[in-house]
Amino acid sequence: MRKIFNKIFRYRLVSIYFILSQLVILTAIFGVLNTINKAYAKENDRLKALAKNRIELNIDTFAKKDILSYAAVNVDVGNVLAQGRMSVEVAQIGSTNRCEVLLAVNESTPYPMIRGHIPDKETDNGRNCVALGRDKYRYVYNRDGKDYITLGQEEYEVVGVIGSPVSDYWDYKIVLNIDCMSDSLKQSFSSLSNISLTVYSNKEDIMEIYNKVYSNVVNVDNTCNIVSYSKKDTGESTVSETLQKENIKTNVMVYAFCLINSIIISIFWTVQRKKELAIKRVFGFSNIRMIADIAVNLLLLMIITVIMYFVGYVLYSFIRYSTIQGMGLWSVKLILLAVGLFLITLVIAMIYPVVDIYRGQAYDKIR
């Protein structure tokens, strides 16, 4: 074992610099690939949330009437959801945040629950209740074993936590039910000049539901303007937006810089071995054998780097989070891509040694 160690670290200073460079490269590689993986996982969660049949009603109104309370009257199939510009003030955050309100629920909703449930009239008996995404749940306070948050200066019990195991798509949601919210909050929504309603179902034809909702809205405000859209496409992808937010360019630039640094280190490493390479050539070592010897040495250094990286990652995760954070996102595809990029790094780092050996510079200089 000591003999192998001495062979790998015969030129210790350069070897240590090479390992440090590869550690940064590994961080950049997994940073880039994990970001890409998260972006596509988020997009997949978005697509899974889309119902098969969807019609959106974009309502412009200036009457300041309570459209939400009556829009889904007598709707007994499918679901109706109010979205758009709807927002509510969250006292614990100190700002207004987008929210959505379920007006009718007759089949399963797309929200993935970490625990609890989405507010509904039967379960929550009309109490002020809300379901929060994982990020918003950080702001709740506990009293008598129950979680609460303040919305629009009123206390709401948090009955559910929403979140996906693979992305943050649902983490910022605030989901209310029209039958489980205060009159004052309903009144604040009635002052909106634009409301977006979505009628959707995975089981039923929604034209009949749409006609009921349309009729209900007009009965409340016959001066409103309604523009309807039948949603057949999947909408705009979120991948590019997620990649932009995650600042993926920084990781790419770090990887490129470290790649250049690896080439420079391999040049110094080859210079230090010139005498050794020349002696090997004198004793009949072929170019292929000398190249293989260097490649194996570099590969062993890279394997040591990988081991150090994962040991460091596990220790960091346990110290900070008491668990191994993010391992669930490291799919087989992600790891294979990382291995591929790491091997590309090895090939690029070998360019100068290969060129140097074939030109016979080491042998010529000692001769």
- Same domain assignment for residues 211 and 63: yes
Asked if residue 228 and residue 352 are part of one domain, the reply reads no
Q: In this predicted structure, what is the pLDDT of residue 170? A: 93
Q: Euclidean distance between the first and final Cα of the chain, in Å?
A: 35
For residue 259, what pLDDT is reported?
78
Q: Based on the domain organization, do 28 and 76 belong to the same domain?
A: no
Q: Domain count for the chain, please give it.
A: 2
CB 116 within 8 A of CB 123: no
- Domain span at residue 209 reads 52-233
Answer whether 200's CB lies under 8 Å from 79's CB.
Answer: yes
Residue 325: the pLDDT is: 46
**pLDDT digit string (tens) for the chain, length 367 residues:** 566 666 666 667 777 877 887 788 777 777 777 777 777 888 888 888 888 889 999 999 888 888 999 999 999 899 999 988 889 999 998 889 999 999 999 999 999 999 999 999 888 887 999 999 999 999 999 999 999 999 988 999 999 999 998 888 999 999 999 999 999 998 888 888 899 999 998 887 889 899 999 999 999 998 999 999 887 656 555 556 666 665 666 767 777 777 787 788 778 777 777 777 777 777 777 778 888 887 888 888 888 888 888 888 777 767 755 444 444 455 666 677 777 777 887 788 888 888 877 776 444 554 5
Residues 274 and 199 in one domain: no
Strands 113-116, 154-162: pairing kind: antiparallel
Tell me, yes or no, whether 218 and 79 share the same domain: yes
Give the domain-ending residue among 233, 252, 270: 233
Residues 229 and 244 in one domain: no
Q: What is the pLDDT, as a whole number, of residue 363?
A: 46
Task: List Cβ<8 Å contacts ≥24 apart for 327-333.
Answer: 328/165, 328/166, 329/34, 329/37, 329/38, 329/41, 329/166, 330/30, 330/34, 330/37, 331/37, 333/37
Closest-CA residue to 35 (of 221, 252, 314, 305): 252
Residue given tokens 């039923």 in the structure block: 204
Rounded CA gap, 245 and 163, in Å?
A: 20
Q: Are residues 266 and 209 in the same domain?
A: no
Same domain, 268 and 362: yes
Same domain, 212 and 170: yes
Tell me, what's the pLDDT at 38? Answer: 77
Same domain, 214 and 271: no
pLDDT at 100: 95
Q: What does the chain come to in residues?
A: 367
Are 325 and 316 within 8 A, CB to CB?
Answer: no
* Ranges assigned E (strand) in the chain: 53-60, 79-83, 87-90, 95-98, 100-105, 113-116, 129-133, 141-143, 146-151, 154-162, 174-177, 194-201, 225-231
